[in-house]
């Protein structure tokens, strides 16, 4: 994949689901990134805003974004404060949560992840006050994502060195 044109970056996170895209079965379409260091030995993780654990940047693919990779890179900016280059589409990953964990605010989702290289880490970003970020090894990331099978699957599809 090619380097994406620099999109204007807002210091405001998008909120709400009025522009959210949904799939043919009513599932929420979510785009995310597996942000790798240039040597592919580390992955950048962020603190989950809700549960406090460590996760990969991801969020809703919105109707004004032509490609899922645009949404994924916007989420990387909003949540992790990074500018990234997309290298590989890691494909679609189904929501693996049991139906008992689905709610009106957390409906079934379909995830599309992209492997990206982090080009820059900015000092200020939209969600800096509610999320920390940290570079970790594969083993650390896999342990942190043990309870999130869809995120672990994205990590395992990436070319992060194990």
pLDDT, tens digit (0-9, with 9 covering 90-100), for 94-147: 988 777 777 666 668 999 999 999 999 999 999 999 999 999 999 999 999 999
How many distinct structural domains can be found in the chain?
A: 1
Q: Is residue 5 part of a domain?
A: no
Q: Does 53 fall in a domain? A: yes
In a domain, 21, yes or no: no
- Count the Cβ atoms, other than its own, within 10 Å of residue 120: 8
Residue 149 belongs to a domain: yes
Asked, for residue 98, whether it belongs to a domain, the answer is yes
Q: Rounded to an integer, what distance in angstroms lies between the CA atom of residue 72 and that of residue 57? A: 8
Contact 28, 61 (CB under 8 A): no
For the record, the structure tokens of 68 come out as 């899922």
User: For position 30, what pLDDT does the model report?
Assistant: 96
CATH number of the structural domain spanning residue 78:
3.90.79.10
Query: Pairing state of beta strands 82-94 and 28-36?
Result: unpaired
Higher confidence at residue 139 or residue 16? Answer: 139
């Amino acid at each position: 994949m090619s380097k994406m044109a620099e999109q204007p970056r807002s210091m405001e996170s998008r909120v709400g689901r009025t522009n959210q895209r949904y799939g043919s079965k009513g599932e929420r379409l979510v785009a995310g990134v597996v942000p790798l260091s240039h040597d592919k030995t580390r992955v950048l993780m962020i603190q989950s805003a809700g549960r406090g654990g460590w996760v990969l940047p991801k969020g809703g693919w919105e109707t004004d974004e032509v490609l899922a990779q645009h949404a994924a890179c916007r989420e990387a900016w909003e949540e992790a404060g990074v500018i990234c280059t997309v290298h590989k589409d890691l494909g679609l990953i189904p929501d693996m949560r049991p139906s008992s964990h689905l709610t009106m605010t957390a409906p079934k989702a379909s995830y599309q992840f992209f492997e990206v290289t982090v080009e820059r880490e900015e000092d200020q970003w939209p969600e800096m006050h509610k999320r920390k970020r940290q570079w970790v090894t594969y083993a650390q990331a896999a342990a942190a994502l043990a309870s999130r099978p869809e995120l672990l699957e994205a990590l395992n599809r990436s070319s992060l060195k194990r």
